[in-house]
Structure 1
Amino acid sequence: MAGTGGVSSSMLPALPSQPRPGRPSCADLVAATDWSATRLGRRDRWDQAVAATVELVLASPMPMAVTFGDDFVLIYNDAYADLIGTLHPAALGRPAAEAFGDLWPSPGFGAVVEEVYRSGQPLLEAETQLTVSRTEEAFLTRAHSAVKDSSGTTAGVLTVAAVTTQVTRRLQNLGELTARLAGALTIDDVARVVLGYLTDSFDVDHCVFAVDDGTAFRSVRRIRGEVIDEADERLPPVWKRLPDDDRFPPVAVARSGRPSFVPDGEPLRDVATDRHERRIRALAALPLRTPSLAGAMTIGYRVAHTWLPAERALLSAAAQLVAQAAERARRFEAQHGTAQLLQRSMLPEHLPELEHFRIAARYAPGVDGNAAGGDFYDAFRLADGRLAIVLGDVAGHDVRAAAVMGQVRAALRALALTAPEPPAVLAGLDRLVGSLGAESRNEEIFVTVVYGVLDPADGTITLASAGHPPPVLRRAGVAGEPPTAELVKVPPGAPLGLGGRWQTGQVRLEPGDTIMLFSDGMVERRGRPLNDGLDALVAAAAAATSGDPRNLCSMATAAVPGPPTDDDVAVLAVERAVTRSRSDTMRVAADPTGPSRVRHWLTARLRSWDVPEPVIASAVLCTSELTTNALLHAGTPAQVEIDLNAERLLVSVADTGTRGSVIRTHDGMGSLSSRGRGLGLIEELSDSWGTDPSVRGSTVWFEMLLRGSTKSSAD
């Protein structure tokens, strides 16, 4: 649309030029475009009002566009170019219907501009979603107003867009926070969810979650770019005590109940514990207050930051949700922590150590992560030198199931130490379970057990099953052949308490073979046949990186796809070693020099065993990370154990701190994301790794395959 004023080129204002890396500015493109082929006509003849509007658009930092004439010729600025992505620069100077294609006639887009052009009335749109050719969708609010030429005639439509993508994303993240907090059962769970939300939604450099712990406060934080992520989802959070000092923002706001917002300064100068906190310039601290809990959450930036009213309101709303979730978690822990401790205390704290056999076990609670259950395992030496192995399942997920489990496990030991043959042991357990059911006038006690006796002289295992799933046998590959796995053929027998009769089957472990006993929670999945789970477990065992029992126990917990049932999971694995392994242990005091001393000890020990230098370097790095994490978390001594044979190096780091729920492990079967680089290094350098709970703490371990490159195994 040409103007009628006949403005000469000398009268036109200079168009601003703000070139961006890799592309010319929109002002440069407007200046270089031949407008004579459009409704606007030659640029030196543009109406003065039209030219002034174009100048305003191109100079604005806000996303702005203007369309002229009946075909809505499009001119826009650099900020608007960012919104439309790859449609720029082809869209500039073209009719809008051609530039936007199918987007222009879509509801709420082109029709709005056409209506303002016809009526001359301004219009403010509600928030809309713009999807052009961007990898992410944009959310924005648009204001449209008619552009008049010098004669007062409507020449086009000016559109100003206020991008609300960040606000909308934050509101969406607040909804996701609500959903995730609903599934957070422990304070550890709440900490991970909160710190993840603050990091993702506000793109912070530093955030802290703190709660009262009796007479003091404890906190866990997340820092941008830190090597060790103190709230990694696969390890218990690294809690630290906060001094009883109101100079610490979390302590101050937790006690006062009033939020604090520092836009610029040194809010942590007097209390900073490291360089990360000393660099924080802007800090928001929000109280978490309920009738039974006091705490705080803080977010910080390394640059000045204006805390706008909308952002403050959003943080306050999030703090209220977090406080309620933390209070629920505290009540849950108080109600169920005793049950979990009862469950784990009934399991053996240590498994037997044999010259040519390695044993490992793993127990994971049901869905809620804390309720007591009836799964159990055991392994113990018999009077004649043989090894008894057992895995059982008492139906139920309460303290009563755990109590019955404890009675059955204790009775099994007593029976096996007197007359260890499987049929006799199961017959005695059958009478016990029947008696317990009659005593409680409850005929619904349901107990299954698989029990075996291993002869270390030749690796023969005599097995009997009372209604339990058959074990998995992993055969090591012979003469370069790949490993295989199968279900052990054990004669089926009735569950305990039904007066059944049991027969035995035998299997022999050759060097390198591993047998794995497991509960049905390992293979049961909602809506899928049990055989599907069994097949998946067998396939995963055959494909495992090694037959090491700890690796197989870890692998088994994640071998079957699909959402697990509410049932507990227990697994016990025994491997017949190809050769004897070498092992050593170091106890590390809880002081800053601990990781350094572990590095020196591990390096010296592995070199003395002729382990290749690349393996030593990787193992030392991973062990240092785990030791640091254990000492930071528990504040108690840690124990580092190494076990080396011809096939692999196994390193474990145990602490005695109080841990949260059991964490599923990584075994090479799938990928796991991590914010911290510490666990990322372990994932990269090891062949498998995992976390195992115990009665008194937790153990984190990793395995490195040697692939025939070491002479370290003992003869």
Structure 2
Amino acid sequence: MRTGEPLPAVGDVLAALATGLWHWNTATELVTVDAEAARLLGLPAEQTTLTQAQARARLHPVDWNEITGVVQLAVAENTLAEVRIRVMDDQGRIIRVVRSRSKPSFDRVKKEYELIGTLQEVTEPSPGTPAGRSAVTGDWRRSREAFLLDAGRALAEARSTEEVLRVAAGLSMPGFSPDGLAVFGITGDRLTIIGHHGQEPGDEGPFTHMSLETDYPAAEVARTGRAVYLSSPEKYKERYPLTWPLAQQFGRQSWAFLPLIVAGRTMGAWMAAFAYPVAFTPDERSVLTTVARMLAQALSRAGAAETQRELTDGLQRSMLPQLGPEIPGMTLAARYIPTGGGLQVGGDWYDMIPLPRGRFALVIGDVQGHDVRAAGLMGQLRIALRAYAAEGHRPDAVLSRASRFFYGITHSDDDLAGLRFATCLYIEVDPVTGVLETARAGHLDPAIRMADGTVIVRPTAGGLPLGIDPDSDYPTTRLGLEPGESMMICTDGLLETGGHDLDTGWQRIRKTLEAHEGDLEGLADALVQAVHGPSSHHTTGPLADRREDDIALLLLCRQGEGCGCGDTVTVRPSVRRTVLTVAQDEPERIAEGRQQLRELLHDWSCEDQVDSAVLLVSETLTNVLVHTDADALLVAEVTGAPGGRRMRIEVADTSDDLPHKRRPGELASSGRGLMLIELLADAWGVAPQGEGKSIWFELHEPRADTR
């Protein structure tokens, strides 16, 4: 070119350099390319205008999706948008790789982008970093996508701030991994250190509670919400001379400070520091920006979860009582574990209510639902029960009044879909005598663990759940807790977990009750562990994430030989006993007597003898109800060591009429009771009492060497 001649047109110069021009406006959805750009895209070498769909058809689908992210990043950082793109032919084959550079602009009012840029064919791989990445062959792209997928999954599964920081510290970015990380938070007008990795403990001191106005990269990022990239110590020192001495001591060569943004709000900053120089190409910035976004979301979720757990713990502590002072002769243990959803509070609860003359009441219940409303109703019901008990009412009256109260508060509006009910078990305990007076509203029956480890469910009379019928009656059942025996009451969450129903769940819990030989606190832990794995005394923790229903559990032990409570020595006695009253108007309780006897004899070695005992109990109880006007009292007792035990069963009534053995004909419908006893029992008799009589029989367990 001779001096003085005019300069060639820009397009001619770019064409000579095999570089094409293109213009893209998202408002018109049109892409204009010059002749060289058209050639690079596999089109005839002439200027043309394409629709976005036509342009997209010439590019690899993965690369087209990447363009949007790179453009948004360039606008946010006010930098060039650079991306490598694979060009496809009509058969979907890659014909070349091109590099696109553009300067995007964004109209914030119209939400539109406009880009003017260049296209240039990439003929050989660009120089790699010391880590050996390749920008053209696709290895970098594939490894980056795999890394982001794994990082996103790991951060999404982190449940606490500490766990998020641990995951972030373990991230190995493709081709360039930082050896120092720090996460900064914002408290008022100050930076705080949430966590760091790659530094020694105490190194964070100068950066803790730093003013946001400080000339420091993280402070600037927190103020502006824009990333800062420092590719060399010289650039760091030039841009932040005041705080460079703080960073110099760590011996790093490059730094990236990125904003942690959630819902448009900058919640902090993330620093990634490198021990070797990093150029921070658009690909590298894209990876760092994506990780920063995922890290911000993970930290936000973890912070919300931790706040929620603190709130949950506070709610639980305010709603659930302390078990109060020690009770002479009695030991108590309790557990409450909420479900894993929502605020982790629900409708299950327990309570202990002091009563006059040294007595106390135990209450356990379950308000329908696992939400805040259920928790609120539970709190109101608990207060009402305490008030009625303090007024001196008996268990049946306490539940009757509680049912009317609960019906009133749940039917106070027209929202029938919001109606709730509650189950409840109320037990008044006399610690001196061990007498338990129970009233039940649709709840599970109590289970008694005898001193030798045998477990029996004690059937109790009951009524409808609270809140269904305001006029429901709740009859009282009197039980006895012998020295060395323990009582378990719980909500159905302890049983119906892990795919179990009430029956199979009870069998699982029963095995734990019978096998445990420690104290009551250990038994409470063992019961929860049987359902959910290892637990603690606390009501929150890892278990909170795996529950299907709330769990409330109360254990009461009357101290004595075999219970493992207090200072007594755990020695399993050789006596077990059950007592049951069958009233004239309760013939259905004969079935309960048969069931309790089978539970009492669950480990008896001879099944035929168990069947015989159940048959004879049914006969003797039925005879009392049919031939007298009195109620029947069943007392069953097993004594001795396994392999040589004695079973003694006695049925007493207040009638003075003694039974007589008869020889009924073949067609007679009765009169065979004593004949069966004489035939099946090893010993039997009739014993007059001060008022009434009793019929008793015994069966002796055969020894192993005689079976």
Category of TM-score, reference length = shorter chain: 0.3 to 0.5
Q: Which has the higher contact order (CA 8 A, sep 6+)?
A: 1
TM-score (norm 1): 0.45
Structure with higher Rg: it is 2
TM-score (norm 2): 0.46
